[in-house]
Structure formats: structure tokens, C-alpha cells
Amino acid sequence: MKSLLSILCLVTVLTSGASTYYVATNGVDAVGRGSEAAPFKTIQYAVDQASSSSTDTIRVQPGIYDEGGKENVNGTPHTNRVMISKRVNLESVGGASVTHIVGAPDPTTGTVGAGAIRCIYTDNGAANSRIIGFTLRDGYGDDGSTDHNHRGGGFLQLNGQKYIYLYDCVISNCHNIGVGGSSGGFGAGLYDFGSKPIWVENTIFENLKGGQGGKYYIALKTAGGTTITNCDFRDCSASYYVIAPGGATSRLLDSRMERCSGGSGIITGIPVVERCAFCGNRSEIFYRASLGPVRNCLFVSNTAAIVTLVDVSDKRARFENCTFADNNGNNSSVVSIKGGNVNNQVAFVNCALWGNTKDVNRTDKTWQETHLVAYTNCLVEAYTEDVPETHEGCIVGLNPRFVDPASGNYRPRHNSPLRDKGLTLDWMTEGAIDLDGKPRRLDKRGKPTVSALPDIGSYECDIPKPGIAILVK
């Protein structure tokens, strides 16, 4: 997680002249308090005291905040531990590890329901609010209702017409499980229903449960144009998708997804994915969606397909400088084509594919020749039989010589055949980086230069090649 310093400096500039209130678990909710020496007790009381005409800051001391709450004022009521309908900066003093906003299950059902408590709710009045440095845990939505107000166990933004910024948080053990096959269990961790999305950065999503016995249940659902940056998704499950932003400009950047599963797949609706790692997931990662490009990503030890094309024509997926290794399981493959529709194509450029159960799995024998898998400047273990493929500038059957696959290190060794064998792409200008954040084009001495060829795969090797003398003064 990145330091809060830069974010807090920005907040200070934006809130110059506004008030600052303090909250602590040993405080008192009373008029005349709210200073650092005499703090309020609950976050909700502090939010209620904040001005509607300026951007006040609420600073929360370390502790467990599981008291207080307020019903949302729009639509069907649902209780929230914190309900924000004005612009504020809500920030913890000690960070997410020691500052928890805690929801609660319905006392009758022991899970979702009308008496459950969500962690945080925002509406359009909270436009441009910033929420920094909290763990949101044990939040619950309602009982599978199709009402948007009942969605989002950890966080709900409703009717937002401006951005909400969520930084350096943890959303954990939250639920929105619809029952009876209804379609209301969206967003166990986070649900955004508005014309502007939540901007999510440096946030961990873990142990989120969306859906049980029905469909359309999502652990994280956001509006179009969402950017998810430097986030971790761990042990999340949903009966439909785990992540489902909408819009052609949504992006998933510098993030990691581990041990997740979705009934229809893990991700849909994110056309741009860069510098992410997908490890040990149990469901198809990209399902029935156009992707392009997916760059500098690592896919290892997944037990289902990485990308699945099914039932829909004219779907495209493009992977550039990605590594696919040791993806093994009964249903595992890098590409799975299940439908008979036409013009579905997957392109691999500068990719390493090694140790997978199958690179391409075709389950529908009626598919047409316009389905195509194209490899350009890739290292592959072997070509796939009975699949329309094209190959250009590829390395076949040569061990990629990863550093230590047994310990999860899939970087190339200094003598790897992946080195300097990639194709120069238009995005590989000065400043382009790999999965580690290192320069994408390095010379034989491991020094950045735009004249060098890139390595194949998600990592660039910065170790000098054998036989190159380095003079050290």
C-alpha cells in the first residue's frame, strides 16, 4: 500500500478554510465537541455536524466503530453504519489495519435482511468525497431485493453524478446474498449505481460473498469508466461475476487477484487490464467479453480458462507481453472456445505460454474457420492441433528458463530465450514499464534504451547477458 502522505496533502489543499472534526471510540456525541482533545464518539454524528457548503474533514482515531448508524434518505431504507450525503473527507489517523467500520447481519436471519447494517452509503450529495484508510468489514445488504438501495454490503454509492474516491482501504467479509433465485445480490463488497464511478486505489477486497443459489450476484459492481488501481482481490466468490464494471473506459491496473471464483466468470466489462497478476483462481477469468489490450500480466496456477469465447459473435481478446504458466486443472486452458459463432479471435503478441494443460481448448466442433488464434513473437510449448492458428516469429518447445517457478518467480533468467525476442509495439516508448515497474526495453547490459527489443512475457530481465563485461569504478 502506498503512503497516505501525497493524498493527504491534496486533501489539505482542497479543504483550506473548512472545519476539521475528530472521532474516537472514547469520545462523546454532543454539541460543542469534535475537537482533537474532545472528539465525537461515532463517525455518523461527525458527518451530521459537517457543513453542507464546504468540504469538511473528519479524522478518525484507531478503533472499532460498530455503533451508531443512519438509514439512507433515498429510496427504500436500509441502515448504514455511516451515511454520507454531503461532501466530506473521511480519513483515518492510523490507517486501515487499526481503524474498522463494522456492519452487522440481520439479527433475525443472521445474514442479509431488512435489519442488516451496511458499512458506508453515499449519494449524489457526497460528490467528490474522499474516504481514506479504513477497513470496512462484516457489512450486509438486504435479502435479494431488486432495489438498488439493498445492494452493496460494504459500500454503496447511489445516484452519484460525481466521483467518489476510495483510497487505502480494506473491504472484508461483506455479503449481499440474494435468496430464492432473485437478482438483487449485487456488490457484496462494493456497489456503485450512478453516472460517475467510484475511483478505487490501493484497496484490498477479501472474502466477499455475492450470491447463493441464484444469478447476477457480483462481489464488486461499479459504474462505467471505473479505474481500479493497485488493489488486491482475495478469496472472493460470486454466483455471476466477481468484478463487473461497465463502460468502454474502465481499467484494472497494477492489481492482483488470488483464489477467486465466479459462476459465470471472474471479470467482465473491463476492456483494459495492465500489470496485473492472476494466481490460483478457480473460474474462468475473462468470460464472453472483448478485451484489448491485456498487457504485462501474469497468469499462473489458475484451474479454469483464462479467456472464454462463447455464444456471441465478433468478440476479440488481445494479450501483449503476458506470461501464462502452469495453469492446470480439469477445465484449465488459456483459451476456451465453446460457441459456434463467427469472427471470435484471440491474439497473443510477445507472450510466453508454458506448462499449461492446454493453450487452446475447443469444446464445440462446429465452430467456423473465422475463429482464429494468432501468435506473434511468442514462446509456446507446442502448437494446438485442430485449431485454426497463425504463427509468426514464434519460439516453439524451448524452455523459457524462468528464475524459480516452484516459488512463483516467473521472471526470465539472464540466459532465457525470452530475452530481446519481442516485437516493438507502439506503446513501448520511453517510460513504458513491465509488471515489476521496470523499464520495458533494456539493452544487453540491463540499461534502459528505446533502441532495444523487448523481452517476451510480463517481465523484462535487467541482468546483463553472459559475456557482457561491466566496468565498475
- Model pLDDT for residues 244-273, shown as the tens digit of each residue: 766 667 788 999 999 988 777 788 777 789
Q: What angle do CA 132, 201, 149 make, to 5 degrees?
A: 75
Please state, in angstroms and rounded to a whole number, the distance separating the CA atoms of residues 86 and 108: 32
At 12, the pLDDT band (50, 70, 90 cuts) reads very low
**Grid cell in block for residue 203:** 484497496
pLDDT of amino acid 1: 42
- Decide if 88 contacts 58 (C-beta within 8 A): yes
Q: Spell out the alpha helix ranges (H) of 311-376.
A: none
Give pTM, 2 decimals. Answer: 0.82
Q: How far is CA 95 from the centre of its chain?
A: 20
DSSP assignment letter at 4: S
pLDDT of amino acid 250: 78
At 233, the pLDDT band (50, 70, 90 cuts) reads confident
In this predicted structure, which of 47-51, 180-184, 239-243, 271-275 has the lowest mean pLDDT?
180-184
In 3D space, the residue among 255, 300, 293, 244 whose CA is nearest the CA of residue 272 turns out to be 293
In this predicted structure, which of 47-56, 137-146, 147-156, 462-471 has the lowest mean pLDDT?
462-471
Please state, in angstroms and rounded to a whole number, the distance separating the CA atoms of residues 460 and 402: 12
Identify the top-confidence range among 260-264, 307-311, 353-357: 353-357
In 3D space, the residue among 83, 82, 85 whose CA is nearest the CA of residue 101 turns out to be 82
Q: Is residue 341 helix, strand or coil?
A: coil
pLDDT of amino acid 177: 60
Cis peptide before 197 (omega within 30 of 0): no
Calculate the alpha carbon distances from 15 to 12, 286, 376 in Å: 5, 41, 51
User: CA torsion sign, 462 to 465 to 468 to 473?
Assistant: positive
pLDDT of amino acid 293: 86
At 316, the pLDDT band (50, 70, 90 cuts) reads confident
Q: pLDDT tens digits for 127-143?
A: 889 999 999 999 888 75
Average pLDDT, the chain: 81
In this predicted structure, which of 123-127, 183-187, 463-467 has the lowest mean pLDDT?
183-187
At 193, the pLDDT band (50, 70, 90 cuts) reads low
pLDDT of amino acid 341: 55
In this predicted structure, which of 91-95, 326-330, 331-335, 439-443 has the lowest mean pLDDT?
331-335
**Grid cell in block for residue 358:** 492446454
Please state, in angstroms and rounded to a whole number, the distance separating the CA atoms of residues 119 and 284: 30
Q: Is the pLDDT of residue 359 over 60?
A: yes
